[in-house]
């Protein structure tokens, strides 16, 4: 998949490397800003601040 994407990017090698870096940075930014907080707020993951040891 990455080879296919790299071959289909326009320009010479240095432009393709730069575009690949921009695409990777955009994907990481989207994951950190939107996807991971949405998963943490939803019921997909337990809250890490909740204690499993309860008092009586």
Residue 40: predicted pLDDT: 75
CB distance 32 to 24 below 8 Å: no
For residue range 4-48, what is the model confidence (pLDDT) as tens digits?
Answer: 888 889 999 999 999 999 999 999 999 999 988 887 777 666 666
Rg (CA), the chain: 20
pLDDT at 1 over 80: no
pLDDT at 54 over 70: no
Residue 51: predicted pLDDT: 65
In terms of Cβ atoms closer than 10 Å to its own Cβ (0-12, 13-18, 19+), residue 33 is exposed
pTM: predicted TM-score of the whole model, two decimal places: 0.66
């Amino acid at each position: 998949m990455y080879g296919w994407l790299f071959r289909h990017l326009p320009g010479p090698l240095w432009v393709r490397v730069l575009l690949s870096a921009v695409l990777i940075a955009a994907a990481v930014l989207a994951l950190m800003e939107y996807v991971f907080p949405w998963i943490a707020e939803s019921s997909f993951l337990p809250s890490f601040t909740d204690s499993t040891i309860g008092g009586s």
